Amino acid sequence: MPALVYKNKTINYHLTPSKRRGSIVMRVNKDASVHVRAPRFTSINYIEGFLKERFDWIIKRQNSFKKLAGLYPAKEFRTGEMFPLFDQSLKLNIERAKKQRVPICELDGKNLNLFIGDVVDLKFKAAASCAIRDFYGAQIKMRAIDIAGKYSKFLNVKMRKLSIGNQKRIWGSCSRKGDIRLNWRLALMPFDVMEYIVVHELCHLKVHGHCAKFWKAVEGVLPDYRKHRGWLRRNGLSVFFISDWG
């Protein structure tokens, strides 16, 4: 594994040659490892020059992931574990059901009941993770439809279709046709922040791009939207981290 020594620190990185032409792509993973993909025949000197330009950011990112790993240990999917849902915490309750071919989750007060068959080990973890993610997606969709119904008339826009996705880098998106796609991870945020993201996408149905007119539209609906943007800047990485249950 190549290693870059710079500023009295060392960064070990995985290098993957790419057949495609283009620029270097670098990623810092949840485990603080660094992966670099570069066009074939790119010199090590050039690659390490690329890394040096981003050295401080890489170290900061690695330190952030290491800190988050201490704050949010990996989920074991055991009865009694706590899972966030907007502004509350839910206690996981696992119910084994031999005839339950497709695992499902149901909300029971502050309990999150997971009905699952006799799968074990890694298959159990994958099935449980998928069921909980689907539950979150359903919660987001239900609330987002209510929010859209509440503000669409005020904004004079119409949402054609709402879907939930597993985006790795964005919270939501919209198309010129009126389709909005939201990240299921919004369920891990405070409700007001989730509401801001939905309003943000609704405003894009009115104004494409992030110009002054767009932000004026957002402010017209949510005068305190800057507070929610600030929360995302401070906590967005944490949301992606805790939702990676692998």
Mean pLDDT by 10 residues, the chain (246 residues): 93 92 90 94 95 96 91 89 95 87 91 88 87 96 96 94 93 94 97 97 94 96 97 94 76
Taking the C-alpha atoms of residue 209 and residue 206, their distance in angstroms, rounded to an integer, is 10
C-alpha to C-alpha distance for 180 and 198, rounded to whole angstroms = 9
What CATH number labels 82-242? 3.30.2010.10
What gap in Å lies between CA 157 and CA 217, rounded to an integer?
12
* Cα 229 to Cα 24: distance, rounded to the nearest angstrom: 30
Contact 226, 234 (CB under 8 A): no
Helices 225-242, 191-204: axis angle to 10 degrees equals: 110
Count CB neighbours of 164 within 10 A: 22
Closest CA to 91 of 105, 72, 104: 105
The type of residue at 91 is K
Closest CA to 136 of 6, 228, 245: 245
Cα 136 to Cα 145: distance, rounded to the nearest angstrom: 14
Q: Residue ranges of the domains in the chain?
A: 3-71, 82-242
Cβ atoms 205, 187 nearer than 8 A: no
pTM for this predicted structure: 0.85
Task: Find, among 241, 167, 155, 141, the residue nearest to 200 by Cα.
Answer: 155
Contact between residue 84 and residue 90 where contact means Cβ atoms under 8 Å apart: yes
